[in-house]
Structure 1
Amino acid sequence: MKVDKDTSKVAQTADQQKQRKKTKVYLLHSDEAQADKLIHPDMQILIGHVRFRHDSMYMDCDSALLFEKTNSFEAFGNVKMRQGDTLFIDGDYLYYDGQTQIAQLRENVKMVNRNTTLLTDSLNYDRLYDLGYYFEGGTLMDEENVLTSDWGEYSPATKQSVFNHDVKLVNPKFVLTSDTLRYNTFSKVANILGPSNIVSDDNHIYSERGFYNTLSEQAELLDRSILTNQGKKLIGDSLFYDRKAGYGEAFDNVRMTDSINKNILTGDYCFYNELTDSAFATKRAVAIDYSQGDSLFLHGDTLQVVSYNLNTDSLYRLMKAYHKVRMYRVDVQGVCDSLVYNSKDSCLTMYRDPILWNEGQQLLGEEIKIYMNDSTIDWVHIINQTLTVEMKDSIHYNQVAGKEMKAYFIDGDMRHIEVIGNVQTAFYPEEKDSTMTGFNTSEGSLLHLFLKEKKMEKGKFDGKSNGTMYPMDQIPPDKLRLPTFAWFDYIRPLSKEDIFDWRSKRAGESLKPTTDRRPKTDKRNLINMK
């Protein structure tokens, strides 16, 4: 097919003329005009009420220099640019290039686009892309926020703005500082693109990537962002925060540190309500108490902290763990189905088949109450079907059973045990060199046991008792174990990593409780927290 070159040229020329016509700057008015064809053949000097039009943009000033060849002009004094009823730009000086459609405004520049105002001393505005940008400091304001930075850009069409270097967003409820930030004046969403801090009277958020909706006051934060509130620090691979509702959620590799109470909550999901000072964690949840020299690690399917009587002198907290609870510290370990720690009386209660180990001692019953003093064990109360066992070797065990048991500690070591009601003992007295001298079985109603260096040293019955001492070589086989004897070393937590490995009692070895002592979930607080 043959193309007519002349026809093609005509079409191109028409397009070029159309483009030139579209970009021509028109002088609409001037009180006075001057020109010197010899010195400045392409320049007109315009004085008084000067007005230009370029397409839909009208531009006014006190005086101007018009360059017709380059389709451009310089404007001085009371410069005003108007486009419809949506865009207004004022300044002291303007250079406008009609070919590129770029306006360069200087000194006391003010751009107004509906509800948004931009103030700066150096603004370039690109009409083709409907984009204004400043580079020597500026302030952008809307109904909600005031943003300042060294460099910034704003698009009246998309309402999108970008800020770099010393960025500061001021909101009546918080202040956001950053190095790089995107902000939309329509949605009021700030897009965090670099290290940023959001500080309010109540908390502090640090994030390097995420979104913050300044209208709904909700944030979605990534890259190990941090929420800090009243001594508590919540960190996770990602965070969701609702300032109005007063709660935060953390996902994956979560760590919540309470520097005041010296404990840490970890897991793969954590919920924190700053209004009720309550939290819960799931998915490999662990509570770590580091108030003493050795940290206590506690794991359960779900860990929950609930505060009561906030902002009063009667403030107290409940820490609940359920189910499949395992805890480990170098000097003490424990397992149970669930537990509750009450800060009001510093009591930790273990429910349903609880077992507690302290060095070579094993204690168990239907329920175990551990009373703390400055985070160390003060005394332990074991209720119903109580049993304490001390392993001498793989064959010989010191054993005491009763209805109720109270164990008293000094500096973290068990020193004195009271066994109350239906007391039965199977005990190996020793010489000073730890040689067993015989085997003693006895029964009574109240027994005092005394320990030294974490071993049973002696026992004493109050009231009537009866017993039998057997030489070591004449112990009847049926007397070696009390009827309730059990040794649960196979489920004892061996390390802080072992708390995740739940091991149940063997069939038939679980206690049959006389009453249901399991804690009831505080559904009211869970609903409030969500």
Structure 2
Amino acid sequence: MKYRHCFFFFLLSFFCVCTHAQVSVGDTTDVVEILQSRKLEFKKLPDGTQVQILAGNVKLKQAGTLFTCDSCVLNDAAKTFLAFGHVHINDGDTSQVWSNNLRYLYGNKYAYLTGNVKLTDGRGTLTTNNLEYDVARKIGTYKGGGKVVNKRTTVTSEEGVYYADIKDVYFKKNVLMKDPANTIKTDSILYNTEMRTARFISRTVITDTSGRRIVTTEGDYDEKTGRTNFTQRTTIVDKSLTVTGDEIKSDDSTGIVQIRGRGVLIDTAKKIVILANSIFANKKTEAFLATQKPLMIIKQEKDSIYIAADTLFSARLSDLYVDTSKKAAKPKPNDSTNRYFEAYRNVRVFSDSVQAVSDSLFYSFKDSVFRLYQNPVVWSRKTQITGDTIYLHTKNKKPTFIKVIEKSFMVSEVQPTVYNQIKSTNMDGYFTDGALDSVKARGAAESVYFIQNQDSAFSSVNQTKSDRIDIYFDSGELHKVVLRSSVQGTMYPIKQKEPSQMHLENFQWLDKRRPKTKYELFE
């Protein structure tokens, strides 16, 4: 009789478990099935609520979600169960969660987990001490600090929301993201564990292993490709190179950086600044292309040089002229002279001592020569020089020598409508302290020179021809003209000739094209 009584009690317990597993509590989605438990006990609480206590390898199921734990207290009236010890929530292919303790509102499918919480979506793993997990929407939220590890990337923050279904994590407050290449500090970041991409939505500072520093407020970063796309004002500091722009795209694999909108490129080693609405820079070749109102500034303590054109391009000189001889010396790293730049269309140059315009320009840092092509004009104080091609030599960024090739023409303004003029096949000019000191005109030279008395009144005008004419200046003013070899000329009383009649062939005064201030080049 005793054994029959025990067997009957066992059947009754089993029947209670199976019966609960089949009973629907309200909506069928609220059903919690008890799949396994070594012990089942019914207990009535002081307030009259009846609960079920399960212990030992407990397994529960709600729809497609499995719950396992060491023990559990199930309250059907409140549609709640408490789980303790080795808690595990298995959402199949979507996510899995572990913790020490769980309070689950199965009517709402909402879980509160505490103690050594770990959530994984199969890609990344979140660890925290407290987690709220929406089982229906597969969303986990923590507010007491958490860490996500995804392959070789680690992200920590004070708060976060983990969207397990779409593999997104929204990190907030004191976010620190580290991967083998970068360290990222920000207040908010959206990270996808499957695509391994990060979206920046607040002020963000990125530092890589080379020391490059990026400051932005909005953009994307792809860990797999190393590509970044910043869509708000961003600054990148990379050793001696600093770039800033409204939009910046960077590809570490190719070394290409694209800057759009109020772009600024500063090379502190070469003392160059580039301003443009569009800049393409190649970090590997150190080349850059600037368009859309580009402006280059060659900086120096005094009298910086400003250059504007439709297009500016700069690269290493050794990449332009490749010396294949065995004795060719390899360029030294960071050699500031191993560089050139080109300017195309509507070229304008301004410095305090010299201004110039042309259709195109080439400058080599090796020899410090500005080569101006197609209708070039150079001005120095009251003197204008034109020709087919002009080479302007500089030293320490100041003009020292000018060479005019073919159709050379120099005009010096004495006063409005009155001009001293020299024309020849070629001209060589020399500067002292940035001011024109003397000019030597060679080949079919002609001149028109107005002579003034001690009161600066005009007394006569001299028109001459010679094989060679030397011109000397004093404080930027024409001081003396010396005619050499095969001289022919006529001196006219000033009353016999109007200044407008004393223009050599092809004379033109181009002051309207002259940049008057550096600010004109910014327009």
Q: What interval of TM-score do these two structures reach, taking the shorter chain for normalisation?
A: 0.7 to 0.9
Contact 1:429 1:439 in 2 (8 A): yes
Q: How does 1:80-479 map to 2 (within 5 A)?
A: 80-143=88-151, 145-200=153-208, 201=210, 203-309=212-318, 312=333, 316-461=338-483, 465-474=487-496
Distance in 2 separating the partners of 1:125 and 1:351: 71
Q: Which amino acid aligns with 2:112?
A: Q
- Displacement, 1:436? 3.5
CA offsets 1:332-374 (integer angstroms, 9 cap, x no match)? 3211110011111111110011001112100111111111222
- Displacement, 1:275? 1.3
CA offsets 1:132-187 (integer angstroms, 9 cap, x no match)? 11111111122353222111111221112211111122222222222111122222
Contact 1:302 1:322 in 2 (8 A): yes
Contact 2:24 2:30 in 1 (8 A): no
- Displacement, 1:39? 4.7
Q: Which amino acid aligns with 1:485?
A: F
Distance in 1 separating the partners of 2:472 and 2:194: 75
Distance in 2 separating the partners of 1:86 and 1:260: 53
CA offsets 1:373-418 (integer angstroms, 9 cap, x no match)? 2222222221122111101123431111222222222222112222
- Displacement, 1:226? 2.6
CA offsets 1:473-515 (integer angstroms, 9 cap, x no match)? 35598982333432222332334455589xxxxxxxxxxxxxx
Q: Unaligned stretches of 5+ in structure 2?
A: 1-22, 319-330
Residue 457 of structure 1 aligns to a residue whose secondary structure is strand
Distance in 2 separating the partners of 1:313 and 1:56: 63
Residue 503 of structure 2 aligns to a residue whose secondary structure is coil
Q: In the comparison of the two structures, how many residue pairs are matched?
A: 486
Distance 1:54 1:454, change over 3 A: same
Contact 2:409 2:424 in 1 (8 A): yes
Moved more, 61-70 or 400-409: 61-70
Distance 1:308 1:48, change over 3 A: farther
Q: Unaligned stretches of 5+ in structure 1?
A: 1-15, 502-530
Contact 1:144 1:215 in 2 (8 A): no
Residue 473 of structure 1 aligns to a residue whose secondary structure is helix
Contact 2:36 2:59 in 1 (8 A): yes
Task: Answer yes or no: is 1:37 the counterpart of 2:48.
Answer: no
Q: How does 1:486-501 map to 2 (within 5 A)?
A: 486-496=508-518, 498-499=520-521
Distance in 2 separating the partners of 1:375 and 1:121: 64
Distance 1:162 1:351, change over 3 A: same
CA offsets 1:279-332 (integer angstroms, 9 cap, x no match)? 112222222334243454322221111224476365612211111212334443
Contact 2:378 2:384 in 1 (8 A): yes
Distance 1:428 1:78, change over 3 A: same
- Counterpart in 2 of 1:526? none
Distance 1:474 1:22, change over 3 A: closer
Distance in 1 separating the partners of 2:391 and 2:421: 20
Distance 1:85 1:391, change over 3 A: closer
Q: Which amino acid aligns with 2:133?
A: Y
- Displacement, 1:263? 3.1
Distance in 2 separating the partners of 1:22 and 1:492: 82
CA offsets 1:258-291 (integer angstroms, 9 cap, x no match)? 3333333223222111111111122222223342
Distance in 2 separating the partners of 1:306 and 1:417: 34
The root-mean-square deviation of aligned C-alpha atoms, in Å, is: 2.8
Distance in 2 separating the partners of 1:334 and 1:147: 55
Residue 512 of structure 2 aligns to a residue whose secondary structure is helix
Residue 392 of structure 1 aligns to a residue whose secondary structure is strand
Residue 157 of structure 1 aligns to a residue whose secondary structure is coil
Distance 1:432 1:143, change over 3 A: farther
Moved more, 413-422 or 378-387: 413-422
TM-score, scaled to structure 2: 0.84
Residue 29 of structure 2 aligns to a residue whose secondary structure is helix
Distance 1:330 1:456, change over 3 A: same
- Displacement, 1:130? 0.8
Residue 495 of structure 2 aligns to a residue whose secondary structure is helix
Contact 2:97 2:118 in 1 (8 A): yes
Moved more, 330-339 or 230-239: 230-239
Distance 1:126 1:278, change over 3 A: same
Distance 1:64 1:422, change over 3 A: same
TM-score, scaled to structure 1: 0.83
- Displacement, 1:422? 2.9
Distance in 2 separating the partners of 1:298 and 1:56: 69
Distance 1:117 1:476, change over 3 A: closer
